[in-house]
Amino acid sequence: GMGLVLPESWPCGTSLTVAGVTGDPQRAALLLARHDAATENMEGFGLALAAHRKGIALLEVRTVSNPVGVRDKTRWNFRLALDSLESILPTLTGAAA
Q: Which residue has the higher pLDDT, 5 or 42?
A: 42
Give the pLDDT score at 87.
92
Give the pLDDT score at 40.
92
Please, which pLDDT band fits residue 60 given cuts at 50, 70 and 90? confident
Give the pLDDT score at 82.
96
Residue 40 contacts by C-beta under 8 Å, 6 or more apart in sequence?
Answer: 15, 16, 17, 18, 21, 22, 31, 68
Query: Does residue 37 register a pLDDT over 90?
Result: no
69 bridge partner residues: none
Give the pLDDT score at 96.
57
